[in-house]
Structure 1
Amino acid sequence: MIGMQLTIRPAAAAAAARSASLPREHSHPAVARLDGGIRALRSWSAAATARFAGVDGDGLALVEDVLAVLGELLGLPQAAAAIHRAGAGGGAACERALDGFLALADAYGTFESAVLALRQSAAELRTGARRGDGATVAAALRAHRRTERELCRLAAAMRHASRRTPAAAARTANDADGEVVGIVAEAAAVTAAASEAIFLRCAAMSRDVPATVQTAASHKWLARLGVTRAAKKAASPEMAPAPALERLEELEQCIGEMESGSEKVFRRLLQTRVSLLNIHNPL
């Protein structure tokens, strides 16, 4: 059996016993970079949880970075052999990693659809507000509420997924194969934890859209549109205040950027899932 060159050096037991937030010494750049990406993503998640508003950094970009380096690692023959041996030996960590990335891919597929619906309803809300169309505004607000509930449901699913494979305990094996499988499982767990924060931030963004309309400097126009009582067009259309329309346009742009980032993450997740399946069940 060929010895692995992708793992921590002989002081594996001592290194594994350290906090998961501390750097480890690795002999392969891909493992070191993945370890660094995992720490950065974990730090972002902690900041997003502690201070939900005003958190610097793009969580989706950090997730994509982790998945990109993970893809490089899975492409290395030594890493693939380690994962295959662990799976063939009935290792639970390997199965959890496969299940974890399947759950992540499913979640981001749904997230993409939710973000698309969010952007469309935001555009419809801005159009209705600009034209003074109460029916369009009311329909867009209802769509936003549905999307917000879906995003909260996805966040709860990611919370459950992250707890199934605790990131801090994922890499405890002292053997070479266990270290590789462990870092893959840890990447899945940390990605799930970050995804919970990302989905909740998107839900909050969804909440900002109707709030922008309803708390505009002069929102009497909204009541006159009949939005608060009935979803019907006002007899005398009245435009929303310009600041509200500008804010809605800014939110549309933010949602569009999130849509682009989610597409990239979704593609990475599909590639990761395919790579793991090919390693686990080679032709």
Structure 2
Amino acid sequence: MHLTLSPVRTARKAAAAAAHARSASEPCHPALARLEGTVRALRSWSCCCGGAVDGSSSSYGLALLEAVLAALGETLATPRAAAALRDAGDQALDGFLALADAYGTFGSALLAARQSAADARAGARRGDGAAVAASARARRRTERELRHLAAAMRHASRHAAAVPGSPDAAGAEVIGVVAEATMAVAEASAVIFSRCAAMSPDVSAVSSRKWLARLGVAPATSKVAPETAASALERLEELEECIAGLESGSEKVFRRLLQSRVLLLNIRNPL
């Protein structure tokens, strides 16, 4: 029997019901407990970081994502998970493929954003207005791509991957927690992609510090003093470094997603 992709709220209730049904004589596997803990931490971050504007928060979100996927990998390697998920349909695998594809695109978008900041800095250093304008156009294209990615992740987060039902409480719990983790990853990814879409400044306005506050490069103030040319160039360089840090975190998440999909493939098609 297959359960159609259901809304997040329904899947959460199912996971909670499965956990409640677990016998006290069969305690939660340590790997499953770690996964549940990392998912709670990631959901807390996703819910609480909406008003934040510092770039370090996005890096922290990526670190939490990696922790969830690392714990998921440990869970998928257990015999209990293999038994519960062996009959899962291709939709579970497709879900991780979609997440991996999203992070592949995200990595390319971050590279483009870092390049546009570098081009803006080089153009500003030379006093080349055309180069600065071209970098601004490139940034806007990257911003649109990131917003599309965020929308795709928001859609994915509203639906859990279709998975088979399980006749026993332990199997149902594994299925529920894995689905919960998948949705938490999609939710957090939507937040991160949206924040990164807004993080790059309009490079034609590098005399303002307001955009720097969006990444935590400079504190937000109600009245913004003009930047000197040297300081503006320094801020653009700091922006490049911040994006490079996000690229590193994104690459780690991407690798974890690929590893999770390989584990699912091995469960689905054992040797």
Which band: TM-score by shorter chain?
0.7 to 0.9
Equivalent residue for 1:179? 173
1:275 aligns to 2:263 (yes or no): yes
Question: Given that residues 18 and 173 in structure 2 are in contact (C-alpha distance below 8 angstroms), is that contact kept between their aligned partners in structure 1?
Answer: no
- Paired residues in the alignment total 232
Q: Conserved in 1, the CA contact under 8 Å of 2:65 and 2:185?
A: yes
What letter corresponds to residue 124 of structure 2 in structure 1? A
Q: Any conservation in 1 of the 2:146–2:197 contact (CA below 8 Å)? A: yes
Q: Tell me, yes or no, if the aligned pair for 2:18 and 2:172 is still in contact at 8 Å.
A: no
RMSD: 2.8
Give the Å deviation of 1:95.
4.8
What CA distance in whole angstroms lies between the structure 2 residues aligned with 1:109 and 1:149?
A: 16
- Residues of 2 paired with 1:78 and 1:143: CA distance? 48
**Could you tell me whether the CA contact under 8 Å between 1:80 and 1:279 is conserved in 2?**
yes
Aligned to 1:83: 85
Which residue does the alignment assign to 1:250? Answer: 238
CA distance in 1, matches of 2:137, 2:94: 34
Aligned residue for 2:49, secondary structure, equals helix
Alignment match, 1:263: 251
User: In terms of mean alpha carbon deviation, does 121-130 or 74-83 score higher?
Assistant: 74-83
User: Paired residue for 2:195?
Assistant: 201
Deviation at 1:27, TM superposition (A): 2.7
Compared CA separation, residues 142 and 178, structure 1 to 2 (3 A): same
Q: Distance in 2 between matches of 1:216 and 1:77?
A: 54
- Which amino acid in 2 is paired with 1:129? A
Asked if the contact 2:109–2:146 (Cα under 8 Å) also holds between the matched residues in 1, the reply is yes
> Which SS does the other structure have where 1:73 is aligned?
helix
Q: Return the letter of the residue paired with 1:53.
A: V
1:6-21 aligned at under 5 Å gives the runs 13=17, 15-16=19-20
Q: How does the TM-score come out when normalised to structure 2?
A: 0.77
Rg larger for:
1
Instruction: Confirm or deny that 1:127 pairs with 2:116.
Output: no
Are 2:215 and 1:213 aligned?
Answer: no
Structure 2 residue 139 is matched with structure 1 residue 138: no
Q: Deviations over 1:39-72 (max 9, x none)?
A: 00000000123x1424857100000000011111
- 1:70 is matched with 72
Amino acid at match of 2:182: A
Give yes or no for contact 1:156–1:196 (8 Å, CA) kept in 2.
yes
1:183-202 CA distance string (max 9 Å, x none): 11111100000000000111
Gaps of 5+ in 2: 1-15, 211-227
Closer, same or farther: CA 43–137 of 1 in aligned 2, 3 Å: same
Could you say what secondary structure the match of 2:71 adopts? helix
Q: Is the Cα–Cα contact under 8 Å of residues 67 and 269 in structure 1 kept in the other structure?
A: yes
Among all aligned residue pairs of Structure 1 and Structure 2, give the percentage whose two residues are the same amino acid.
Answer: 63
